[in-house]
Amino acid sequence: MKSILAVDDSPANLTIVRELLKDMYKVNVVTSGDQALKYLEKKKPDLVLLDVCMPEMDGIETLKKMNELPDGGWKVIFLTALNDASLGEQARSLNAAGFINKPFIPGDLINAIKDVLGE
């Protein structure tokens, strides 16, 4: 079973993601960019779902730091409530695989994940 790390400062969002995906993927959750980096130093999930707007370290900064880790090459889908064209440019420059707008439609999230994972 493929693994997904979901990173979001909202426990409610993490619960939704975990419940939606639990029968298809092994889902681990963390609530900050710092926790994500610590997790990724030890494990390499098949995909990271990364919230853009988080306190302390936002998703863009988190992905920049992820790309500095030795195992790099992360597959990342951003989850965001923002509608900002410059954000899309930043994400593409960091090789993010895509964006899902929040609140997301469950089928759209599942399809995006399957597409990125080549399923």
Distance CA 95, CA 105 (A): 23
Ordered by where they begin, the domains of the chain are 3-117 (3.40.50.2300)
Tens of pLDDT, residues 96-119: 998 888 888 999 999 999 999 999
Whether pTM exceeds 0.95: no
Bridge partners for 101 per DSSP: 80
